[in-house]
Structure formats: C-alpha cells, structure tokens
C-alpha cells in the first residue's frame, strides 16, 4: 500500500482538537479521514506529528496515510481539499513516502508559534487567532525569563496534569520572542523549537512569561518555578487561540 505524507493547515476554532473523538465531535483528524473515505471507501486512520488541542491552529502539521491506489500527489491534494470544503482545513502539500516514514516517530523537531497582542480595543480581523491583553509588556523581561527554560530540564511545573508523556524531561532548543507593530498596539510572537513538547507546555510557558512581561513576576521567578517541579508553581495557562503548530522537521523533507 503506498504511503503519503500530508502537510496540513487549519484554523482550530471550529474543531475539538486534532484527535478523532466520539461520533458527532468535529476534529481535524476526523475531517481528513472522512475525506479519504470519499476517495477510497472504508475506514482510514492517519497519524500526525502532534495532537493539537481545541482552538489551536496548524500551519505546518504533518500526517501520513496509507491508500490502496497509486495517487498522483497533486491530484490527491486537490481531491482531498474538494471533500474538505467548507471546513477551515486544507492539505497544502502531499508526497509519496517510504513505508518507514512515520509522521510522528520520524520527526526530529516540532516548531510552535504563539501570537500575543497588546491593545485596548477588541481585535476584529484576528479574532480567535491571537491572545489579546490590554496592558503593555516588557519584551526584554520576557526574554530574560524565557532564557531559564532553554535546555534540558524536568518540566513538571509546565505540563498538564493530563499529560501522557512517560517523562517530564525534555530539551527546549529555542524560545525566540519577536515584537512588531500591530494596529493600535503591539504583537509579540513567541517561536519555540524542540524535538517534542509536553501537553500544555507551550501555553504554560507563554502564560508565565506574560506575567513577567506585565511586571507581576520578576524574570528569576521563572527559574524558581522550573526548579520547584510542581504544577502549582506555574503561572496562568494562556488560552489556546494564539497557538499554532508551525512546522515539523524530518531527516529528509518529504515535500521537497
């Protein structure tokens, strides 16, 4: 059976997360599997690089599927998108890959983006796509706080109690915070890179760093929270709508 890698983007707002759930629950995985069933009748199961929560978006999610027919990747992309309309999800690239390729287990790195906007007026065009606060933030203080989270650590403080990972020990390779003008405000973009992340780790990081930027926490308190290895020491977990799975890296890019 030929195997295909799919690069997928989606707006998370209408979905109950990535993972297929009980009947009647709209999920990204369920929508794509239903589209595949329209092309080749029968049950389909796709595997993804990561499972995003309800409200979280995808810019570069990667999944793979096995089909019985040899599809031209360009035609498969168009056929899937035709059956996904009008849902806010699309396959932006498709490639035939070796049987050994696995969207989750072959991945070497995941990248996330979090968009945080500061302004008083409610956002309109980016509603549901950013986290908005109405007070100014000190980007340098947030960068100082983020520096404590880089490297190999026990991230118990920054993972959900429902996290299913076997270990809280992970290596975070980068947290880069960029700022830019936003209509009547500022936008802060948090770019994070790691081989893998714990459940709610990124949202826990950003919620904590927002407290640092707002002046409610000194930057050194991030290090103290990390060392505590206690979920109660974490800052507020920020809402999901500003979070994007922005990309996944493999030993060889399947889409080149």
With tokens 């999944």, the residue in question is 63
With tokens 């990390």, the residue in question is 226
Cα distances (angstroms) measured from residue 226 to each of 82, 145, 190, 223, 235: 46, 11, 19, 5, 11
Question: Dihedral (C-alpha) 208, 165, 90, 45: value to the nearest 10 degrees?
Answer: -160
Region of residue 151 (left: phi > 0; alpha: psi -120 to 50; beta: else): left
Residues near 203 by Cβ (< 8 Å), separated by ≥ 6?
114, 237, 238, 239, 240, 243
Given the residues 53, 66, 126, 154, the one annotated as active site: 53
Q: Is 53 a catalytic residue?
A: yes
Q: Which of 217, 208, 192 is nearest to 159 (CA)?
A: 208
Could you list the active site residues? 53
């Amino acid at each position: 059976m030929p195997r295909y890698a799919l690069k997928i983007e989606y707006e998370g707002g209408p979905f109950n997360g990535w993972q297929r759930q009980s009947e009647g629950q709209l999920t990204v995985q369920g929508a794509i599997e239903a589209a595949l069933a329209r092309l080749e009748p029968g049950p389909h199961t796709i595997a993804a690089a990561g499972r995003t929560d309800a409200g979280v978006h995808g810019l570069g999610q990667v999944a793979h599927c096995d089909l019985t027919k040899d599809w031209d990747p360009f035609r498969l992309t168009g056929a899937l998108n035709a059956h996904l309309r009008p849902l806010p999800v699309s396959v932006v690239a498709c490639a035939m890959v070796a049987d050994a390729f696995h969207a989750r287990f072959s991945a070497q790195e995941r990248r996330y983006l979090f968009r945080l906007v500061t302004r008083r007026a409610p956002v309109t065009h980016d509603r549901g796509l950013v986290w908005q606060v109405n007070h100014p933030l000190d980007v340098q203080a947030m960068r100082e706080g983020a520096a404590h989270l880089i490297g190999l650590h026990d991230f118990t403080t920054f993972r959900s109690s429902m996290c299913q990972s076997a270990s809280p020990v992970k290596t975070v390779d980068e947290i880069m915070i960029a700022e830019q003008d936003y209509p009547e405000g500022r936008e802060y973009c948090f770019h994070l890179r790691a081989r893998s992340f714990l459940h709610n780790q990124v949202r826990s990081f950003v919620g904590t760093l927002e407290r640092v930027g707002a002046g409610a926490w000194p930057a050194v308190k991030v290090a103290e929270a990390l060392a505590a290895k206690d979920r109660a020491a974490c800052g507020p977990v920020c809402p999901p709508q500003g979070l994007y799975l922005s990309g996944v890296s493999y030993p060889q890019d399947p889409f080149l």
